[in-house]
Amino acid sequence: MDLHREFKNSRFFNAQRMDRRAADALAGLAAGITADGLVTLDEAQFLQRWLEANLVHLDDPVINLLYQRLQLMLADGVLDPDESADLLSILMKFGGLELAKATPGRAYAGANDLPLNAPVPNLEWDGRLFVFTGTMAYGPRKECQKLVEERGGIIGSGVSKKIHYLVIGSIGNEQWRHSSYGLKIMKAVELRDAGTPIAIVGENAWQQAMFG
């Protein structure tokens, strides 16, 4: 116990300063991990351990979501390419201070100006080919894909004339045209404009169709 309030009154150890230092340290870690444009399994596991040791000083819904996402991704001891890409996207926002604090009721800012189908189409599952891009707020991409497959849908590896739906994760980048997943979106737009019956839908529409 801090009987004499040494820690509470300390220039270096009071709670507010510890919270600020931990948040700054996380931003620095994120910037360092993403500097080479790749998140490895060792880096993800190191970040997971660091968060476990510092969560008490990082009481923030976005950081808690990052920790939960890491737990799901690393449960099998593997970080597959999709998980690595999703984690890179999230950490780049931390490094760029884009996700410093969540706004009430909304942990992430969704990508804006997306070329989504309007009106939103009715999603069908059986035999339909789905491609996911961007980072899904619901959970790791493979979990989202599993839900589609359980309903009879098929998962595609890339955008082509055979695709029925391109689903864009709601954890987006406002500059999506310049992002890695923006290439899939642009290709889908080109196919749609050329008459291919491909629907571009946001994660909110996908979740609504999936869960009602």
Mean pLDDT of the chain: 78
Other CB atoms closer than 10 Å to residue 78's CB: what's the count?
A: 9
102 located within any domain: no
- Distance, CA of 25 to CA of 134 (rounded, Å): 26
CB 210 within 8 A of CB 165: no
- Distance, CA of 120 to CA of 199 (rounded, Å): 9
Sort residue 191 into left (φ over 0), alpha (ψ -120 to 50) or beta.
Answer: alpha
- Same domain? For 12 and 80 the reply is yes
- Same domain? For 91 and 133 the reply is no
Output the pLDDT for position 200. Answer: 95
170 located within any domain: yes
Confidence of residue 5 (pLDDT cuts 50, 70, 90): low
Confidence of residue 125 (pLDDT cuts 50, 70, 90): very high
- Same domain? For 75 and 136 the reply is no
Least confident span in 20-34, 41-55, 156-170: 20-34
Output the pLDDT for position 20. Answer: 63
Other CB atoms closer than 10 Å to residue 33's CB: what's the count?
A: 21
pLDDT surpassing 70 at residue 7: no
- Distance, CA of 208 to CA of 205 (rounded, Å): 5
Output the pLDDT for position 25. Answer: 79
pLDDT surpassing 70 at residue 128: yes
Helix axes 41-54, 61-74, angle to 10 degrees: 130
Please tell me the total count of domains within the chain.
2
144 located within any domain: yes
- Give per-residue pLDDT as tens, 109-118: 344 568 899 9
104 located within any domain: no
Residue 141's Cβ-count burial label (10 Å; 0-12, 13-18, 19+) is buried
Confidence of residue 58 (pLDDT cuts 50, 70, 90): low
Which CATH number fits the domain that encloses residue 168?
3.40.50.10190
For 38, the domain range is: 6-95
- Distance, CA of 14 to CA of 195 (rounded, Å): 62
Amino acid at 105: G
Amino acid at 184: K
Q: Of 95, 121, 150, which residue sits at a domain end?
A: 95
Tokens of 37: 């444009």
Apex CA 126: angle with CA 139 and CA 78, to 5°?
30
Across 127-135, average pLDDT: 92
Output the pLDDT for position 11. Answer: 47
- Same domain? For 80 and 22 the reply is yes
**What phi and psi, each to the nearest 5 degrees, are found at residue 138?**
-60, -40
Residues facing 48 on adjacent strands: none
Output the pLDDT for position 101. Answer: 35
121 located within any domain: no
Least confident span in 99-108, 131-140, 175-184, 195-204: 99-108
Output the pLDDT for position 208. Answer: 93
139 located within any domain: yes
Handedness of CA 81, 85, 86, 90 (dihedral sign): positive
CB 156 within 8 A of CB 162: yes
pLDDT surpassing 60 at residue 35: yes
122 located within any domain: no
82 located within any domain: yes
- Give per-residue pLDDT as tens, 78-89: 998 888 888 887
pTM exceeding 0.75: no
Output the pLDDT for position 15. Answer: 52
Helix (H, G, I), strand (E, B), or coil: what is residue 175? Answer: coil
Q: Taking the mean position of all CA atoms in its chain, how far away is CA 192?
A: 26
